[in-house]
Structure 1
Amino acid sequence: MLAVTADDHPAAVGPPDGPVAVLANPTAGRGRRRGALPRLLDRLGATGRPVRLLEASTAEEAEAACRAAVADGVAALLTVGGDGTVHRALQAVAGTAVAFGPVPAGTGNDFAADTGFPVDPDAAVEVIVAALRAGRTRPVDLARMTGADGTVRWYGAVLAAGFDAVVNERANRMRWPRGPRRYDLAIVAELARLRPRRYTLRLDGVPQDVDAVLVAVGNCASYGGGMRICPDADPTDGLLDVVVGGRFDRRTLMRVKPRIYQGSHVRHPLVRSYRARTVEVAAEGIVTYADGERALPLPVTVTAVPAAARLLR
């Protein structure tokens, strides 16, 4: 088992002149923040460290490029993009001493925001550059999930294992229309067939069966671009927050869903919240989404790993 020990003090960033790798997604945020990348590269160059811009044309290539950079001995890995870009980089830096810095430039930037980075890309760049100059990192927890076949994936924000995961799965199968309207149509289609599913949860070894339409396991509070599905989650407490929305009908679900942005949905009588170090989730016909990315089919086991990543802040 991977063992990572948390500490309360900033740690050094590798060799003082160690190289920095940058993974950028030019399509993140529908391309609105492409200007963040050249400014980041200029600011990084001023630190005196070698800078390596990673090349990739697919998500899989991006993840492979990050793993190769870490294996080659970079001191830090930075991302310019959204939660999907962060997710790919986390697969490489999790459990290592390689420092990580997310520049939020996507549609959803939940991990960066929930771990204390400014939402403005230029301001986040300044935070990261200052940490690099000072040789400073701070620990943050990650969630490690293991599938039934032994596959391991890491995530930083939230694992969706209910209605939102089902909607994402349908939207990703649709070839038309493009853009946000595809997701809207997927919501309508899945609402028409909404039904509670039987889940088996095991929280630190204690089993319980629940009928639910929403299940989320959060290392951080937010997903989907600011929806505070697990509002009390703290990515430094060594625990996972589990939020379960029970036997909602269509009308009740659509009334409650907007409240997720403020986190007030957890006060609804059909919502239950739990906290555990290890969470096992099982149900039929669900493919989970982690950090907004397609992840593993249920059943999965999710474990909070303290100080699994070192953030440049």
Structure 2
Amino acid sequence: MHAVTADDQLPGSVPAGRPGDGPVAVLANPTAGRGRYRGLLPAVLERLGAAGLPVRLLDAESVARAGAACRAAVAEGATALVTVGGDGTVHLALQAVAGTGVAFGPVPAGTGNDFAAGTGFPADPLDAVEVIAAALAAGRTRPADLARMTGVDGTVRWYGAVLAAGFDALVNERANRMSWPRGPRRYDLAILVELARLRPRRYLLRLDGEPVEVDGVLVAVGNCPSYGGGMRICPTADPADGLLDVVYAGPVGRATLVRIKPRVYQGSHLDHPMVHTRRARTIELVAEDIVGYADGERALPLPVTVTAVPGAVRLLR
């Protein structure tokens, strides 16, 4: 199956698609949202079944098995793939549906639901299911862009929301290495450790080939506006414009970074003189000792090339 590339289509050129008559595959993360939506799945399956297509629940016992189940469902002719979870579950599913034409619907049931929010789905999970089921019944999909990451070894990874490649990525990386404490406190401790170690890093950004050298502490590339459960790091990013937004903060100190971070929730950090934003179709990120986190998931080490791919996913909206 031919994968859509950035050279295949221009923004707005993707024809309207219709789902087929194969089953609707459902990937549900039982631990999403710290378990607060544990009882949601039967209602989701019932509402999807009302669209008139068979519904098949996929194996989600491990990340590896869930990813394999998504790929198999797409290869075997699924009409659509629906996720019940947060951005991590969406990220896993996008690796299977990107560029295939298989319809996709995210039911926002995680601690972070930034892709669903950025692409216009209701915040309430049952309201989102109704939108997805109505689109299935009507045979309606809408194209949306995805970002395609390519590593130096040719590895490809897709993401829907935001790639973090600065301070936030370092915090995630440290938190993932820590065995204590458990829960959110581990992340809080990782923030304190990385703040203590904060130093500007040299980045080379190539924006559609134009080189930009940055001594920065915060770098993010957005297809959608937010990450981390509503932090509007790339507030002007639009997953339908065929472009990516890159936001970077210059060589600020700890006190300034602590003042800037809360402003990210409203997107007002762009008003700070040390914060800059640019827009490009292809962005190369070069830096040492940084592993990028895409949709909150550990992705690829820098250097990477990130390309906006118009219409790479067809959403059930």
| TM interval, short-chain normalised | over 0.9
- 1:160 lines up with 2:193 in the alignment: no
Name which of 196, 202, 213 aligns with 1:198.
Answer: 202
Mapping 1:147-296, distance limit 5 Å: 147-296=151-300
Name which of 286, 308, 314 aligns with 1:304.
Answer: 308
Question: For residues 55-101 of structure 1, what are the alpha-carbon distances to aligned partners after superposition, in whole Å with 9 as ceiling and x for unaligned?
Answer: 02222221111111100010100000000000000001100110000
Mapping 1:89-100, distance limit 5 Å: 89-100=93-104
Following the alignment from structure 1 to structure 2, what is the Cα–Cα distance between the partners of residues 212 and 252?
13
Following the alignment from structure 1 to structure 2, what is the Cα–Cα distance between the partners of residues 255 and 283?
25
Question: For residues 163-201 of structure 1, what are the alpha-carbon distances to aligned partners after superposition, in whole Å with 9 as ceiling and x for unaligned?
Answer: 000000000000011111000000000000100000000
Aligned to 1:244, the other structure's residue is in SS state: strand
Amino acid at match of 1:296: L
Following the alignment from structure 1 to structure 2, what is the Cα–Cα distance between the partners of residues 120 and 236?
23
Over aligned residue pairs, what C-alpha RMSD do you find?
1.2
Following the alignment from structure 2 to structure 1, what is the Cα–Cα distance between the partners of residues 152 and 52?
46
Question: For residues 102-155 of structure 1, what are the alpha-carbon distances to aligned partners after superposition, in whole Å with 9 as ceiling and x for unaligned?
Answer: 000000000000100000001000000010110000000000010011000000
Aligned to 2:27, the other structure's residue is in SS state: strand
Following the alignment from structure 1 to structure 2, what is the Cα–Cα distance between the partners of residues 295 and 9?
28
CA contact (8 A) 1:215 1:242 kept: yes
- 1:101 lines up with 2:95 in the alignment: no
Moved more, 1-10 or 111-120: 1-10
Amino acid at match of 1:14: P
- 1:13 lines up with 2:18 in the alignment: yes
- 1:45 lines up with 2:49 in the alignment: yes
Q: How far 1:32 sits from its partner (Å)?
A: 0.2
Name which of 143, 147, 150 aligns with 1:146.
Answer: 150
Following the alignment from structure 1 to structure 2, what is the Cα–Cα distance between the partners of residues 279 and 186?
28
Unpaired segments of 5 or more residues in structure 1? none
CA contact (8 A) 1:77 1:101 kept: yes
Following the alignment from structure 1 to structure 2, what is the Cα–Cα distance between the partners of residues 60 and 267?
42
C-alpha change, 1:63 and 1:305, in structure 2 (3 Å) is: same
C-alpha change, 1:7 and 1:208, in structure 2 (3 Å) is: closer
CA contact (8 A) 2:11 2:241 kept: no
Aligned to 2:122, the other structure's residue is in SS state: coil
Write out the 4+ residue segments of structure 1 that deviate beyond 2 Å after TM superposition.
Answer: 1-15
Q: TM-score, normalised by structure 1?
A: 0.97
CA contact (8 A) 1:288 1:297 kept: yes
Following the alignment from structure 2 to structure 1, what is the Cα–Cα distance between the partners of residues 169 and 185?
17
Following the alignment from structure 1 to structure 2, what is the Cα–Cα distance between the partners of residues 272 and 167?
21
Amino acid at match of 1:307: G
Following the alignment from structure 1 to structure 2, what is the Cα–Cα distance between the partners of residues 171 and 9?
40
Q: TM-score, normalised by structure 2?
A: 0.96
Unpaired segments of 5 or more residues in structure 2? none
